[in-house]
A and B are shown apart, each in its own frame.
Chain A
């Protein structure tokens, strides 16, 4: 087991290094930070721009591989370089990651749980009105782009606020700057984005769970459970759902790794300054170091998510445990 872990970690480290390096090389050769500096008013002399770029290790007149070497050396020492504004990347990265986590954690978990329940219920009611309704609903959500969904929710919230005359919902930013609103205020800001995430997540997991559940509806072991004296519903929940949850839980563990990066639109629309927003803005500005840092974090997360999925699978499914 220990040997297995060591090998697996080495394997992972190599993959992360490769992925991060490739992203850096791609970003450093494709993005144009020079434009950002040149566009200032008054236009600075070329020598000044060059000096500023060199100081940030972003000068496209320095050979790519030399810039890469400087960057990689820094990363190995825990230094992710500086943003175009000259701030260190690392603290900003962590700050942004926490914002994303606050925005998405609740919605992701809640959405998955609701999705599982809805999917399982729909499967048990196969081809009946409840199933049709859930199916139509989830397809409607899945086929609506997230930003449209978010805007629709905002419109709805606006109406409710108007009707009640109280600002129940807030949707600009994480909190209202300057106002002393406390925990409740933050919560109010959280409702709409969370709802967006819940809807999307529930639709995805609902589809997935319905499909898995259909496989066990007619399974022999569900019939055996009924033959023992369980009603159909009890047998489906205690034996069918329990078995059909294994792949869902594994999938959930896997997708949770992407949560921090997966919500660019939600962040943009609701004005949360999270990772997704940062990535888009950085690409836009040509901020190579920030982009590379996000990519590195993403690679690590993907890897951890893979491990988490394997662990979840092993915990839930004795058949896998035996194979190790």
Chain B
């Protein structure tokens, strides 16, 4: 039974010339999880807001949204308010801003109940506490009296879910419910969301840019592009036999932990797996033809003239596609990317470029009062050791707050650390004189997550890339050639050289940032979440660029990322951090295949698998709890409060975890783990 039917929905914002949503269709059945996926800006959020009538005043909405057969488009705010929160509820993307900061969370849930059920304050409060319990918040009575800022991100998102199910709605719209959360917490929240849907029989419209998340919990999926649905169907069918080149591109662009492409033959041997990016960006103002045709590798002459509407795929029940051509083999649509040269394997012989040992960085945290008294010490980095050899990439992974970026920034400072030692290209950073430090600054360059924040908006691309050259004594008339070369090397067309960063897409900006970092031919490149802010289609291109640069220039990289699948595609070795320490370190393929540390296993199992069949088959080991406060690491093994293995140990063996901090030991050749009872790697 269809509870929600959207037909030909069109949304135009006030003062916008082009509609943001141009004919969205969606049919959601009772109890079903229906995912809506697509790149950012394709109109997902706008669609979600339109369903509940939450668009800003002055927005034009046309078409039809029927909930239980009742039309919602065109109703007044007061009429819609009676439906919102009762029949159709919403979970928003960013839990840190979606709750009123000055009211307790219990109060806000109770308000939801009181608006629609007219319950007494006490009864609504009591129900709020039960709802908090339902979504798995420990000590719900106390937490109900907490203010939003007193809860972690995962807790806040649970609160949002509790609020959404408070009145047993028929439909829950969840807009990127896990985008702002860490891996292990994301897995928990997805589970809670699905459980909440099952408990109440509500249909869930899950809006996400993450194809892995959709594969994990959706029954059906609708792919959106430029404000329209371009493919829709049962999630297994669409992921296994996609018909629309855009869907195929998205699926091939997602980094995967197993490194296997979604269709076609696997890349043989020890090569790093290559992703398939989609060139270009979504159109600002779609032309008369297929809106994907500028980026489509198989676009034909008809495609530029006629905008295809959704049509059923013959022989596949409920699968529709909006494409003028019949794609039989998804693997044949995009030209296979160049896998690059075979990587050299003789790691041990190569010289060490970066050596970090016993690195410590503690921050003093101060109170918010006027006197800013010292409250406690955050042990952001608390004894970290690793080496990176020439031509290899080491990925530092872990949940937010575990000390990844602090480690990178400590290296970039090129100064004496609080404790421990950093050796860059043979120089101890504690013993550098000015001239050597200056010379070393050329050799160590960095690229950060947000390219817009790190590029001067008033400079042109060519000036940005030339800046480090000029600063290091090149003459202005000599830099033209190198700048052109650098732009070509990072895959930017020469005509972009005269643009300002504001006029570039996210991926292009990140390429500019990389070109600038490469201008001085550095020998060590530090990358802090370089692809996290980008869409998968673009992310794939940057990942490929990074691997290609390593192969071509023999560059040594330290890559900080929270995304293990990205690390799998870009890095050679991987170091997993937890609470300021490295808990596992080894070759990236091996670590992803057989993790030795229980935390690594938990992180890996939290990575959404963009393959519905496998995502459902694999055992789900959701790690409980939140990443702990780095100000107060527990005694013994720091991971113990969340460790699933510790809980299975008999008392005698468990005591070791409680009392003794595990030290990093070599559990297999080239593999180090800091656990008393590591999982057996290869036999």
Q: Which residues of A contact B (CB under 8 A)?
A: 4, 7-8, 218-221, 223-232, 234, 239, 242-243, 246, 310, 316-320, 322-324
Contacts and interface: CB of A to CB of B under 8 A. Distances in A.
A231 B81 contact: yes
B368 A324 contact: yes
B129 to A, nearest CB: 17
B102 A324 contact: no
A229 B86 contact: yes
B97 A220 contact: yes
Contact of A239 (B49, B103, B371): B103
B82 interface: yes
A224 B101 CA distance: 12
A218 B56 contact: yes
A228 B112 CA distance: 5
Given A231-B81, A239-B103, A242-B100, A319 B147 contact: yes
Interface stretch (B88-96, B515-523, B561-569): B88-96
A225 B99 CA distance: 8
A224 B371 contact: no
Given A224-B163, A243-B102, 5 more contacts: A4-B369, A224-B98, A226-B84, A227-B92, A322-B147
- Which of A4, A227, A317 gathers the greatest number of chain B CB atoms within 10 Å? A227
B98 A229 contact: no
Interface residues of B, number: 39
24 contacts: A220-B97, A220-B98, A221-B100, A223-B92, A224-B92, A224-B163, A226-B52, A227-B85, A228-B108, A228-B115, A229-B115, A232-B57, A234-B81, A239-B100, A242-B102, A243-B101, A243-B102, A246-B102, A318-B101, A318-B149, A318-B150, A323-B368, A324-B368, A324-B369
B430 interface: no
B370 interface: yes
A226 B56 CA distance: 11
Interface of B: 49, 52, 54, 56-57, 77-78, 81-86, 89-90, 92, 94, 97-103, 108, 111-112, 115-116, 147, 149-150, 160, 163, 367-371
Contacts of A8: 370
A227 B149 contact: no
Contact of A317 (B49, B86, B102): B102
A231 to B, nearest CB: 4
Nearest to B53: A226
Nearest 4 CB-CB pairs, A to B? A323-B368, A229-B85, A220-B97, A318-B147
A220 B92 contact: yes
Nearest to A222: B100
Contacts of A322: 147, 149-150, 368
A220 B101 CA distance: 11
B102 A229 contact: no
Contacts of B371: 4, 7
A224 B371 CA distance: 36
B101 A221 contact: yes
B631 to A, nearest CB: 15
Contacts of B77: 231-232
Given A224-B98, A242-B102, A246-B102, A230 B92 contact: no
A231 B78 contact: yes
B100 A319 contact: no
Contacts of A219: 97
Contacts of B49: 223
Given A226-B81, A231-B81, A243 B368 contact: no
A310 B101 contact: no
B149 A319 contact: yes
Contacts of B54: 223, 226-227
A219 B163 CA distance: 18
Contacts of A243: 100-102
Contact of B116 (A229, A246, A316): A229
Contacts of A223: 49, 54, 92, 98
A231 B57 CA distance: 12
A102 B56 CA distance: 46
A324 to B, nearest CB: 5
Nearest to A240: B100
B116 to A, nearest CB: 6
A229 B84 contact: yes
Nearest to A317: B102
B345 to A, nearest CB: 50
A221 B98 CA distance: 4
A317 B147 CA distance: 10
A77 B578 CA distance: 63
A221 B84 contact: no
Contacts of B108: 224-225, 228
Contacts of B98: 220-221, 223-224
B132 to A, nearest CB: 16
A307 to B, nearest CB: 10
A294 to B, nearest CB: 27
A243 B83 CA distance: 26
Contact of A221 (B81, B86, B97, B369): B97
A322 B375 CA distance: 12
Contact of A228 (B111, B149, B370): B111
Given A229-B112, A230-B115, A322-B150, A220 B94 contact: yes
A243 B54 CA distance: 20
B103 A242 contact: yes
Contacts of A228: 84-85, 89, 108, 111-112, 115, 163
A218 B101 CA distance: 15
A74 B645 CA distance: 76
A323 B367 contact: yes
A220 B97 CA distance: 6
Nearest to A226: B54
Contacts of A320: 368
Contacts of A324: 367-369
Contacts of B100: 221, 224-225, 239, 242-243
A324 B82 CA distance: 41
A323 B52 contact: no
Contacts of B149: 318-319, 322
A227 B89 contact: yes
A116 to B, nearest CB: 16
Nearest to B95: A220
B102 A316 contact: yes
